[in-house]
Structure 1
Amino acid sequence: MRIFLSYRRGDVGGYAGRLADALHARMGPRSVFQDVLDIAPGQDYTAVIDRALDDSDALLAVIGPGWLTASTPQGSPRLFAADDYVRLEIARALDRDVRVVPVLVGGATLPAGADLPEALQRLAQRQAVVLHDETWHQDVDGLMRSLRGKASSPTQRRRGGPVALAVAAPLAALGAGAWWLWGPTDEGGSGQEAGAEIASCPPLTGDGWTAIQLSADPIGGEEVEGGELIFSVEAASWRPQGSAWQVTLATTMEAALPSGAYHGDWRYDSLVVAQRPFAVTCFSPSPEFVDAETVGDALIGFDVACEPVGYIQLRLENDADRIDVTPPTLEPGEC
């Protein structure tokens, strides 16, 4: 999912930055378009906005107490100026049928349609989300569940409960041979186009799988806002794919933080085999959102061009955080 943040810096600059950080922590660093970060000096603003909206699933219109009353140097309402960037962003999203969600912060209320320029009056008919300072993380999590079409979090197991491998989503919609159609990957590649949705992993059952001996402590952690995410590799297997190999790991993620966290494929950077990194090609979380102090499971797969023997390492989202999948005393394989 790709989110476009629309806001007026003089109104909610601090809130917008905080919201962007929270979305990055839950969805990954490339999931949010924010003009202050994503428009380089000298670029055509309207062209960049158009491209970003084409790539976005939703626009969050962050509205603070001064959003409606902001004025130009001449004293006229900025929203009614034809070149006002906030007006342009929201109007273009509404015209393109991009999902537009008003996000109210700092005690702001949703403006009435009569107070808005004609191009934005449809905004007043959209269901708004309120983010409170005292319940910020819970409110952002509720926003995320709404955007993903989920009314509530799935049932999860508490820490210390038995480990259960994730059940892969049915592959029928992808075709029986979908896994085999991705093809081998180049170094650091995934076999998929950039921005393509990650497919579900097939379960580690049936013929053809060979188990990988794990290291004594295949565990790693990642510091996030409000706490820590703790990852563990519970099992790993490979099977041949033509002249390459499929490697699938059964992992867990513990959300050791008060707000919980999404368990997404972006949490895993790459699998290093024979000293070469290979990106994620399939991912099956169970559940997608891991509540505070609970553990979620996942299958995560890689198409690798090197025989999966010797020392293998799993790199997490922050490249400095890594897990020894196999014993670190092993020599890397050759490729």
Structure 2
Amino acid sequence: MEYTRLGNTGLQVSKICLGGMSFGDANLGGMHQGWILDEEGTRRIIKKALSIGINFFDTANIYGYGTSEEYVGRALKDFANRDEVIIATKLFFGDSLEPAPNTTGLSRKAIFNQVEASLRRLGTDYIDILYIHRWDYETPIEETMAALNDLVRAGKVRYLGASAMYTWQFQKAQYVADKHGWTKFSVMQNHYNMLYREDEREMMPFCKDSGVGLAPYSPFAAGRVIRDWDADTARSQTDEIAKKKYDATEEQDLAIVKRVAELADRYQVSRSQIALNWLWKKGIDSPIVGVTKEAYLDDFAGAFDVTLTDEDVAYLDEKYLPHKIVGAL
């Protein structure tokens, strides 16, 4: 495993982050019920991740409606030293299939309540990185940033992050925090992969210029970058969110997927290793990968032995066409 500083922070993170959207109680229903792992499966994946040197773990209160946090928290407590791992979680959507008023969003009340619930489920007294999962159009950003700052000052949160929003929104939040002397966001968890590169226009240049770390979600486009487009998997058949993100642009994206396969054959490596190298070449600190099989983690670890040339990256980039915005609300 290789490690890097997350943006301009002193935080050392593995260059691969394990995502928790694949973990949770499928019996609760909702958007991930067709392919998520139960607690036993979650523990196997986390134990394997730790064994290859991953120290960065990401989840959210909405994943498995709280059960992902529970599974991740218990596994890390049993298999890791708390001081040596980075636990990130997110708030905004809440932890219920049918949320009640004031249990979602980014009001002061909702933020404090959601953080307390996440701390209980994770079984820890602090969160290393707390992300706002989306932008809240109903709450003044001043209220949100003040509440987040208070959580940092109280020691319940170490660093702040944001996810999937427009650059003007992220810049506004940073400006408000700076104006009041509050804690600013240190990391952006945006939607970014070979098939969706819209954040290259504004978000990523802004983050790099201001020292904000990049830990994008969906680095393989829900598997579409690293397998044949028509491959039959549990997730490809049941993940309705991924279908909405990518199926509409299948024709234009297929050309890129074919080039990934071509380079993988040329270098005699896996497609995922090509995709991870492409992300690192783009300046990504730690892409968030979701896995349901331990073997995938061994495959990802092999990416450190592969290096794409600038010509390879240009070849992969050449066929990209603009996409509609997906992720930001």
TM-score by length of 1: 0.31
TM-score by length of 2: 0.31
- If asked which structure has higher relative contact order (CA below 8 Å, sep 6+), I would say 2
Name the structure where helix makes up a greater proportion of residues.
Answer: 2
